[in-house]
Homo-oligomer: A and B are copies of this chain.
Amino acid sequence: MTELDVASHDAITLETAPTRYIEGPGIRFAYRRLGLSTGTPLVLLQHFSGNIDAWDPAVVNALAADRPVIAFDNAGVGRSTGRTPDNVAAMARDAVDFIDLLGLAEVDLLGFSLGGCIAQQIAAEHGRLVRKLILVGTAPKGGEEHLLAVLQEAFSQTDAPDPRLPLFFTKSSASRSAGLAFLKRTKVRKNDRDTDNGRPVTDPQAKALITWCATPDPEHALLHAIRQPTLVASGSHDTMLPASNAYAMFKELSNAQLILYPDSGHGALFQHHETFVSHVRTFLDTQPPAA
């Protein structure tokens, strides 16, 4: 589905939806809601350093074609107030507060990278709140990460138009070309764009992600506490959080489907957006075989 197709049957897109705000004790959350008004809402949990406008409109708008989709800034990020915590558990509590403020009793979660760690924590602790779980480009507790090395490498490439190009895509011409198209899509919105925060957000976020991966969970207690149907997805050549994390999570989760994409890095979901959206739809909409 092309962006044009989406735009033609959905008046409101990630690029055109107004940013809304909802206030809880101590934190005012920024968010955008698009797509259908009925159905289980899909709440998106964003990656390290990303805000609402870092999502790919090609993914978000296509997902919103048949369900409500909510993108938001967690505490301290973008135009949400409050302080960004330095640990995943506190980020999960903030995200649950946001979902509660919206009055949502049941949601699906799509967590990407650091957002996938938060999504695991929420799903494990809130069995009734989370219906289905999608974990993309992420790691289990005690998993393998190369965040700092990869960031250093990406920011040293001064000729790259955006550090996300080397971080999210491979060096192949197909992946690089998909990366440039992704960057272009994320820049279509001109007015009411989300703000970048810099180190007051990225420092605690980096600490949270690194601590998550440095904290062993030898019995996989957290993964075993997740009972929801889960889709685990990753790029074949993710240099930040390798695909072996996804395979390891698949093996420990009680009800998980694993999908790995070819010739792709951390941003596999944006590179293979058409295929990824189809896989998410199939996962969210298919009922399990009757027991």
Contact = CB atoms under 8 A, between A and B. Distances in A.
A138 interface: no
Contacts of A250: 236, 260
A177 B291 contact: yes
A241 B217 CA distance: 29
A236 to B, nearest CB: 7
Nearest to A230: B262
B255 A262 contact: yes
Contact of A278 (B236, B271, B274, B278): B278
Interface string A244-274: 0001001101111111111100000001101
Copies in the complex: 2
Contact of A260 (B229, B257, B278): B257
A288 interface: yes
Contact of A173 (B247, B263, B291): B291
19 contacts: A174-B289, A174-B290, A174-B291, A177-B289, A177-B291, A178-B289, A247-B247, A250-B260, A253-B262, A255-B262, A257-B261, A257-B262, A257-B275, A258-B258, A275-B282, A275-B283, A275-B286, A279-B282, A282-B282
